[in-house]
A and B are shown apart, each in its own frame.
Chain A
Amino acid sequence: MRPMPDPDPDADALIDALLPSTGIPMDPAWRPAVAANLRVAAAIAKALRDFPLPDSVEPAPVFEPGR
């Protein structure tokens, strides 16, 4: 199966799609800065995607059962 081309996430599309579900009231004046932050995050996410890890590598948050 050929992989799909890497999507270039559109910050404005992410805001339009997801912001209503958060219930956060966003002043339109804040939008450019929010979008700029999302573009930085998207670039990092792409860099991580471009460095694939073995399936055996588990995430590393903090959890210890029984505490």
Chain B
Amino acid sequence: MSLDDLLDRDAVGIASAFRAGEASASEIAEAALARIEERNPWLNAFTDVTAERARARAAALDAARARGEALPPLAAAPVAAKNLFDLAGIVTRAGSRINRDQRPATADATAVARLEAAGGVTLGALNMGEYAYDFTGENAHDGPSRNPRNTLRMTGGSSGGSGGAVAGGLAAIALGSDTNGSIRVPSAFCGTFGLKPTYGRLSRAGAFPFVASLDHVGPLARSVRDLAACYDALLGPDPADPACTRRAAEPIGQGFEEGIEELRIARLGGWFAQHRMEESDRALDMVAGALGATARATMPKAELARGAAFLITMAEAAELHQSRLRARAADFDPAVRDRLIAGSLLPAAWVQAAQRFRRWFAAEVEELFHYHDILLAPSTPMPAPMIGTQEVTLDGVTMPLRPNIGLYTQPISFIGLPVAAVPVWPSTALPMGVQVIAPAWREDLALRVARALEASGMAWAPVASLED
């Protein structure tokens, strides 16, 4: 097998090839760096390539193997992180122009350090929408991330480079963040698997914040076992993240292979069956059909949940950026700046009402899980739009595209539920994503269902062929 073929495997597959002596970590890292050099001009996924760091890490893994040491589960797998994660020695730009005037990070974000401890070889930092306030993957300063399935189309955002790098075969696993859908949307548009864990499950320390009460971090990958392996690597308490749970780590291991026989799976109707394009319906039909899920469920007032997430996002992000708005308003991406200024002017009672609604909605949805183990919903109402698209027509109504990409993701992250995003292919041209939604703290259930879909051939995430 050539090194190029090896890079098309998933992270666990690459690690087992390394362990078996099919290739050294240094050879794999060099091949990955060469691939970035070749493909990144098309994809604009990487904003920083940490070649020396990757070479040093790979050399250390080769030395460990030569000494006969036990190798970590993802040893030699090429990985990368959205550029809001601190990588020691480079500036954490968080998609912005303003933050690149800061000093380089002095330490890795917790998630980056834990992924490397599990054997990952970090290749660099990935493009993203400014300050993560984005669903498109476009960036006013660094240019748009481009979708490997069709480079004229959006990756989705805000973890756009993460979706592009994984679907384009530039990294096997990419770390992303998800506040309103920023892992699930690029997973859908680029055709990758993604895991947004339970709110508070994985440490966000060292990741530039956006909306403290909604921010999550998690992986995008090309297989369910990679999601599980990365998730297990990232697990564990972290006093540096005030929201990170002190529950003992509950690693999934091979638990995603346990099957779905006894699981009660329902598809969400109501809000999640409105405002969509035909592809969205078809994607859900395909997944529900493959799982034999005939039951239907409704999240009450999901439209209010989406709105409340919108308000909390505006208010918390605006407060976070006050000093930058006062000093450097003209240096923001205009679309981000205008929302942040508006968010600075919200009456407090509006935001408190959204936070009180959050409590009510969480309790209502918890009730749903008495009757169902898993809920299914589309990830987005549409497949990847062309870069630069401003408007979309959903159910015959024309509306601004940007805020409406997240119609189906926002109500779920609003109450912190774990979601495995799975890629399905209603047409040969473009993938769609389906959210496999589990009760809080049950990532294992979401991954079991995702794995069943992968094993049946319904969900899959091949490396894109850029020649198409």
Contacts and interface: CB of A to CB of B under 8 A. Distances in A.
Given A41-B314, A47-B304, A48-B350, A22 B357 contact: no
A19 to B, nearest CB: 6
A34 B427 CA distance: 39
Interface stretch (B38-46, B272-280, B341-349, B428-436): B341-349
Interface string A9-35: 000001100110011111100100111
B167 to A, nearest CB: 32
A37 B307 contact: no
Nearest to B212: A62
B322 A41 contact: no
Interface in A39-67: 40-45, 47-49, 51, 53, 57-62, 64, 67
Contacts of B337: 30
Given A24-B326, A67-B239, A53 B338 contact: no
A15 to B, nearest CB: 6
A62 B243 contact: yes
Contacts of A64: 242
A14 B342 CA distance: 9
A48 B354 CA distance: 7
B355 A59 contact: yes
B360 A57 contact: yes
B356 A60 contact: yes
B342 A24 contact: no
B359 A37 contact: no
A53 B339 CA distance: 28
Interface residues of B, number: 44
B198 to A, nearest CB: 13
B239 A48 contact: no
Interface core residue of A36, A43, A47 (most chain B CB under 10 Å): A47
Q: Is chain B's binding surface mostly helix, strand, loop or mixed?
A: helix
Interface in B279-314: 301, 303-304, 307-308, 310-311, 314
Q: Is chain A's binding surface mostly helix, strand, loop or mixed?
A: helix
Contact of A59 (B200, B343, B359): B359
A25 to B, nearest CB: 6
A22 B338 contact: no
B34 interface: no
Interface string B314-352: 100000001001100110001101110111111101101
A41 B334 CA distance: 18
Interface residues of A, number: 36
A59 B308 CA distance: 12
A56 to B, nearest CB: 10
Contacts of B403: 40
Contact of B359 (A19, A41, A57): A57
A4 to B, nearest CB: 14
Contacts of B343: 37, 41
Given A37-B314, A44-B311, A67-B239, A57 B356 contact: yes
A26 B341 contact: yes
A22 B358 CA distance: 27
A11 to B, nearest CB: 8
Interface core residue of B314, B353, B360 (most chain A CB under 10 Å): B353
B151 interface: no
A40 B243 contact: no
Given A26-B341, A40-B310, A44-B308, A33 B356 contact: no
Contacts of B243: 62
A18 B350 CA distance: 15
A41 B325 contact: no
B329 A24 contact: yes
A37 B317 CA distance: 14
B440 interface: no
B344 A59 contact: no
A23 B329 CA distance: 11
Nearest to A24: B325
Contact of A48 (B212, B357, B359): B357
A44 B335 CA distance: 20
A54 B431 CA distance: 43
Given A34-B342, A45-B353, A53-B357, 13 more contacts: A41-B314, A44-B354, A45-B349, A47-B303, A53-B360, A58-B359, A60-B213, A60-B362, A61-B213, A62-B200, A62-B213, A62-B243, A67-B242
Interface of B: 200, 212-213, 239, 242-243, 301, 303-304, 307-308, 310-311, 314, 322, 325-326, 329-330, 334-335, 337-339, 341-347, 349-350, 352-360, 362, 403
Which 4 residue pairs spanning A and B have beta carbons closest together? A37-B342, A59-B355, A44-B307, A33-B338
